[in-house]
Structure 1
Amino acid sequence: MRTIMLFGALFLILLTSPLQTIAQFQNILISSSNFPNEPSIAFDPKDVGKMVAGANTNNVYISTDTGRTWQVGTLSSTYGVWGDPNIIADTAGDFYFFHLSAPSNSPFSPDWIDRIVCQKMTGVSGVWNNGSYMGLNGSKEQDKEWVTVDRQNNNIYVSWTQFDNYGSADPADSSLILFSRSIDNGGTWSSPVRLSRKAGDCIDSDSTVEGATPCIGANGEVFVAWAGPEGIFVDRSLDHGITWLDQDIFVTSMPGGWDYDVPGINRTNGLPFIASDLSGGPHHGTIYINWTDQRNGSHNTDVFICKSTDGGNTWSAPFKVNTDNIAAHQFYSSIAVDQLTGYIYIVFYDRRHHTDNHTDVFLAYSTDGGQSFENKQISSSPFLPYSQAFFGDYTSIAAHGKVIRPIWGRTDGMYQSIWTADIDTTSLFAAPAFIPEVRVEVDEVYPNPFHESSYISFKLKQTTRVTLTVCDVFGRVVATVISNEDLQPGKYVRQFDPGQSGMPPGVYFFNLHAGDRHVSRKILYANQ
């Protein structure tokens, strides 16, 4: 019998436009483990080199080198960890990870979100505590929290939606916007206060009040913005969240509603984010609200911003942030204001360069208080989402001084990953608006199945940061062949020995990330 050496060979040729020898922003893979989506990111305000990020459902990531490399972990709590991650840091450099709850001893359904949980870590080298909580109210569900910290006193403010019965179409069931605060570094929380004077329904759509986000004003005011059936509203407190306005302030309508469709995404929303300028610069005290909607047609989602310069009493007309003049989808935006410069940064997904569902990531910035915006593509390649995979409900961004760190998810088929980009103001302002696409040509894995060493062969036509992993069918990394290596142009052959990983026979995937480009191939590791 003829002896045949079995091996899995994955051949990839990465090609790029001859006009581009290197991507303008280094895209950094944070993680592809545990089906991550809905990312959030925060800096230590004393040292922006220290960052913490999180993603659904219980993923947590820590960096001590401004986000160039990341430690990957998971969060646990006896209250359960059930997604909607939102991360902040106080002036002491302590981090807070807020999320939904799913207690194992719940008398209701297994995914009953009965409270909002806050877990704290002292610095980036500490250990996450078990957490404190707010909002526990019988069988009512607590959802979609967002958080801010007042850096004058380290008070923490949280706003969210309470559902009488999530998904119910019963007119007797309603949704409300609630608020709570902590004045002891997340140790305890005040009884929730109702902010929305008008309730919404529980369907989790346009007639639901949802997407509440808080920010701090120039005089210590607390502002909370949310969306509902009549558009975007704001409430305001002048005493650190104790009392609120008798009537909510109307900001703007959202033609088409906040719940809309984007092809290829399993669900999409344009819920608002609020931010303030506390920089001491020419726009100090300005409050900004950013959202997306389809006022220009269901085939043309756009990113908008409006602002208030009088403490939230009145609001400007909506201003379109994305600078294209074609019918294309821009969606899932998130805003940050740099409190040293007052510059505004908005990250969002963008399809202006595609006629199908391929999706890029863009960053818009304004240096003149939101009067004008520049748009720059920050992802080095597009991705093609799969409508049956849960994509997540938001992106996130943090900015401080010259350091800007957007964070986003991408879905290549069913394969999900979380990314950031190494951006500073110098590179951002000088960069061209569009990055030529990096194309990937892939041969089949051959032969397949295999039971001995696999040899992975690929060619790079440009200097590229490469990660090559082997994942199981649940997306868990079982072996890392290449870890965030900056490889020069040329041909590479790397060996993978499944026996060294201790992995059992079964179905696995080679996942290669080159820049922001991802290639995945199914393989079968068989017994001899």
Structure 2
Amino acid sequence: MITKNLSTILLFSIPIAIGMAVTPVTAQNVMITNNHSPNEPSILMNPLNTDILVAGANLNNVYNSSDGGLTWSEQTMTSSYGVWGDPSFDVDTDGNFYYFHLSNPSSGNWIDRIVCQKSTDNGNNWSSGTFTGLNGTKAQDKQWSVVDRNNNNIYVTWTQFDDYGSSNPNDKSIILFSKSTDRGQTWSAPKKINSVDGNCVDEDDTTEGAVPAVGPNGEIYVAWAGPNGLVFNKSLDQGDTWLSEEIKIDPMPTGWDYGIPGISRANGLPITKCDLSGGPNHGTIYVNWSDQRNGANDTDVFMSKSTDGGNTWSAPTRVNDDPAGKQQFFTWMDIDQTNGNLFFVFYDRREYTDNKTDVYLAYSEDGGTTITNKRISESPFTPNSGVFFGDYTNITVHNNVVRPIWTRLSGSQLSVWTDVTPSPILFAGNGAAQVENVMQYPNPASDLSYVSFKLHEESQVSIDLFDVQGRKVYTVMNNETKGYGKYIIPMNIDEMNLAEGSYFCKLTVNGTSKTLKMIVVE
């Protein structure tokens, strides 16, 4: 019989100092494109197959990948309603993608509706589109959507301006909601869901940033920013009725519109997500934003959460973990719905005294109680206030596959990027000072793999295997309590049904992880 061959022995002693040098982890950045001056990107993966991704950038650029983001195809999106930026995506339970954007029809008004185009072939081809929100000359702006994966209802929220940019006090901005119960073919009449209107100036007192999320029982949750700070509303009946008054999350004391050196326009509008993983934080609602409450030279990324359906909210948690005094901005978040882990992406200047900018990833495995920051950009860039960056970064995560997206500037050339570093490598080295005597042998080997480690105290131990895309393929040990002593854990390669190739074995002891590459051969 041909047997698969993988053998690794890991020797751990916790807590102690490093014994052997470990190869430094480097990010694996991929440029999606530098054509057509792309900015304000969005990205989404298909949870049925995390190798399938779609992405977009202002104004009408669309990209897709079938190999986990290593390579990309690109096209110019067209629609009879016009395509005018603010790209965002959703995906239903059959893997159909939905691309939402603003309009600029040849026979209508600029951004007079929200357009939805659908792809049934992984983003290669798109329908001509349907729309919601058409209301005379009023502007429809900054839409985001969510699919209820229990019934494939699609929910969309956005801002309507009576007259975009107007300083007339009689002109208002409001938050609207619409839904489709037939997979994007038709849309309900838009419904106003806010009680406190904003102005139309497109600054702090405008109501903006409505990103919907679905709760564990089909609830619809959404937060936005405006004249009352950061507020929240919800519907328990698929959007038919909403709270008569918004619940306040945070006063957002300096507002959502602020200045960042080298950025022509910056905002800290909120992102709303809900944990549907079935894990310990199932049902928790998270809202992520940034503001300058600590000073104009100290923009920070924050998170607040609710464990009671949005009725009450925690005090803000600072997501970036650097000392005070530097700029972090343009944040986005996602939740890995296979485990409840939180992920944030943002621009970061902690290492510099000028406008040089990195991209950071932050993540939490305990509902935001502890948050780890990692730089994921391979090199910094310096933005120029004369070159528009848009208003967002974006990130999509599923089954330990993490794909952020961001804009960067080189000279006068804009480009959009992602990172394809497998998550076991991306997160390797956390708590490395508590790991010693790391050994692998033989590698490759045959039949069995052994994980060996030594504990100095009673500890919680997990052992997981991941493929090169970062997807968990097998759990050897799940948070088991082990006492003082040395352990040798056998792993039967045939029983684990591992195909020939490379894998990563991650040992976690009391939250400290170490990951080594392993090879399976036939």
TM-score surpassing 0.5? yes
CA contact (8 A) 1:161 1:177 kept: yes
In structure 2, distance between residues paired with 1:141 and 1:222: 24
Task: Give CA deviations for 1:9-59 in whole Å, capped at 9, x if unaligned.
Answer: xxxxxxxxxx99876110000000011011111111211111100111000
In structure 2, distance between residues paired with 1:311 and 1:94: 29
Deviation at 1:432? 6.8
Q: CA RMSD in A?
A: 1.5
SS state at 1:423 partner: coil
In structure 2, distance between residues paired with 1:429 and 1:199: 43
- How many equivalent pairs are there? 411
Matching residue of 1:362: 360
Matching residue of 2:402: 404
Select 1:325's aligned residue among 302, 323, 326.
323
Matching residue of 2:380: 382
Amino acid at match of 1:334: W
Counterparts of 1:337-352 in structure 2, within 5 Å, are: 337-352=335-350
Amino acid at match of 1:322: N
Q: Which runs of 5+ in 2 are unaligned?
A: 1-20, 432-522
Return closer, same or farther for 1:417/1:125 CA change in 2, 3 Å cut-off.
closer
Return closer, same or farther for 1:125/1:146 CA change in 2, 3 Å cut-off.
closer
Matching residue of 2:30: 28
Matching residue of 2:44: 42
Task: Give CA deviations for 1:211-256 in whole Å, capped at 9, x if unaligned.
Answer: 1110001111001110002211111000111111111111111121
Amino acid at match of 2:79: S
Amino acid at match of 2:107: N
CA contact (8 A) 1:51 1:67 kept: yes
Return closer, same or farther for 1:342/1:432 CA change in 2, 3 Å cut-off.
closer
TM-score, normalization: structure 2?
0.77
In structure 2, distance between residues paired with 1:100 and 1:314: 34
Q: Which runs of 5+ in 1 are unaligned?
A: 1-18, 434-528
Amino acid at match of 2:232: V
Return closer, same or farther for 1:125/1:177 CA change in 2, 3 Å cut-off.
closer
SS state at 1:426 partner: helix
Matching residue of 1:496: none
Counterparts of 1:243-282 in structure 2, within 5 Å, are: 243-282=241-280
Matching residue of 1:334: 332
Counterparts of 1:427-438 in structure 2, within 5 Å, are: 427-431=425-429
SS state at 2:425 partner: helix
Task: Give CA deviations for 1:307-334 in whole Å, capped at 9, x if unaligned.
Answer: 0000111000000000001300000000
Counterparts of 1:21-170 in structure 2, within 5 Å, are: 24-106=26-108, 108=109, 112-124=110-122, 126-170=124-168
Deviation at 1:81? 0.2
CA contact (8 A) 1:376 1:431 kept: no
Amino acid at match of 1:150: D
Counterparts of 1:300-315 in structure 2, within 5 Å, are: 300-315=298-313
CA contact (8 A) 1:376 1:432 kept: no
In structure 2, distance between residues paired with 1:156 and 1:121: 15
Amino acid at match of 1:336: D
CA contact (8 A) 2:177 2:193 kept: yes
TM-score, normalization: structure 1?
0.76
Return closer, same or farther for 1:125/1:324 CA change in 2, 3 Å cut-off.
closer
Task: Give CA deviations for 1:56-115 in whole Å, capped at 9, x if unaligned.
Answer: 100000100011110011100010000000011111001111000000112x5xxx1100
In structure 2, distance between residues paired with 1:413 and 1:202: 34
Return closer, same or farther for 1:431/1:90 CA change in 2, 3 Å cut-off.
farther
After superposing on structure 2, the runs of 4+ consecutive aligned residues of structure 1 that deviate more than 6 Å are: 19-23
Amino acid at match of 2:106: S
SS state at 1:427 partner: helix
In structure 1, distance between residues paired with 2:92 and 2:422: 23
In structure 1, distance between residues paired with 2:311 and 2:425: 37
Amino acid at match of 2:49: D
SS state at 1:39 partner: strand
CA contact (8 A) 1:45 1:90 kept: no
Return closer, same or farther for 1:20/1:327 CA change in 2, 3 Å cut-off.
farther
CA contact (8 A) 1:24 1:431 kept: no
Deviation at 1:412? 2.4
In structure 2, distance between residues paired with 1:295 and 1:140: 33
Return closer, same or farther for 1:431/1:397 CA change in 2, 3 Å cut-off.
farther
CA contact (8 A) 1:23 1:380 kept: no
In structure 2, distance between residues paired with 1:105 and 1:260: 35
In structure 2, distance between residues paired with 1:423 and 1:94: 26
Matching residue of 1:297: 295
Return closer, same or farther for 1:371/1:432 CA change in 2, 3 Å cut-off.
closer
State the percentage of identical aligned residues: 56
Return closer, same or farther for 1:430/1:23 CA change in 2, 3 Å cut-off.
closer
SS state at 1:219 partner: coil
Amino acid at match of 2:96: D
In structure 2, distance between residues paired with 1:143 and 1:388: 23
In structure 2, distance between residues paired with 1:180 and 1:310: 25
Deviation at 1:413? 3.4
CA contact (8 A) 2:25 2:425 kept: no
CA contact (8 A) 2:161 2:173 kept: yes
CA contact (8 A) 2:64 2:124 kept: no
SS state at 2:397 partner: strand
Select 1:422's aligned residue among 408, 420, 440.
420
Deviation at 1:429? 1.8
In structure 2, distance between residues paired with 1:314 and 1:157: 24
